[in-house]
Amino acid sequence: MPLDPTAVGWESPPRETSWRSEDCLLYALGVGAGPADLAYVTENSIGVEQRALPTIAVVLGQFDDEVWQSMGTFSWAMMVHAGQEVVLHRPIPAEGRIVTTHRLAGMWDKGKAAVVDVESNAVDAGSGAAMFTLRTSVFIRGEGGWGGDRGPTTANPIPDRAPDHEVRDCTHPNQALIYRLCGDRNPLHSDPTFARKAGFDQPILHGLCTYGVTGRALLKSLCGDDPERFGGISGRFASPVLPGEELLVRAWNLDDGAAFQTVRADGTVVFDAGRFTFA
């Protein structure tokens, strides 16, 4: 069967997961952190306490097969990440346990494609205190046309003026091969043959890796590298990134946080309509 619009509202049973210091170190390396980020890439540097990057929430709360199966069936080669939001209710520790539930929040008919929205809520396994909320959108080509709602439109908050902050970062040619070890083994990011079937000349970088690179830049430029000030980020994936490409994160100060976008060296926008909020 194809996608199942009647499945909207489906909820998963709660699932407990845990992570260790090593998981945070691997994630930080996967999104490009290095010697200038010792608090995120080491656990035993003198006078430096290990911390977790805020955007690791997308790994800790990632879907299992049950969530994907609830949507119906589709070709993985036709699916790309459309948008992502992370809302942190408290800083994520370097190790811990959470209980996560997922809800199929929406399925939108775009004609020749469909967008599926999933909301994930994680609470601390010990205290039950809210840890983070994820809102994930995926775009699936060839799965629309059932006559459903096209879904809401989102205004782009990017101001028409020069950005207040700019941070450059260069991904590595093996960036996707490192990031996939955080749990996303989609061959679109590692297998040249699969990538060509999906319409790309070569494997592309995970959207959530670009998201993590962007999150690191905002953590430094807006929060003074203090995760306790990081409230959340959201936005839309606009264009693919190839491993090894340079990225520029632009941010504009707003009264209630910041707007941001990420572009390639040639100016192509790869992550757009970005909103940042402080904790």
Residue 268: CB atoms within 10 A of its CB come to 12
**Active-site residue identified among 169, 184, 206, 272:** 184
The tokens for 233 are 């980020």
- CA dist 190 to 16, 33, 146, 202, Å? 29, 21, 33, 8
Closest alpha carbon to 38 in 55, 27, 25: 25
Q: Give domain limits for the chain.
A: 5-146+155-278
**CA max distance for the chain:** 60
pTM metric for this prediction: 0.94
Closest alpha carbon to 25 in 39, 37, 40: 40
Q: Which CATH superfamily does the domain covering 5-146+155-278 fall into?
A: Hotdog Thioesterase (3.10.129.10)
Strands 15-19, 269-278: pairing is: unpaired
In the residue annotation, 189 being an active-site residue is answered as yes
Query: How do residues 40-59 score in pLDDT, each as one tens digit?
Result: 999 999 999 999 999 999 99
- CA dist 1 to 70, 73, 198, Å? 12, 6, 21
Q: Supply the pLDDT for residue 80.
A: 84
With a cut of 50, which residues of the chain have pLDDT below it? Answer: 1
H/E stretch holding 207: helix 207-223
Residue 193: CB atoms within 10 A of its CB come to 8
Query: How do residues 136-171 score in pLDDT, each as one tens digit?
Result: 999 999 999 998 999 888 788 899 999 999 999 999
Residue 254 DSSP SS3: strand
**Active-site residue identified among 23, 102, 169, 189:** 189
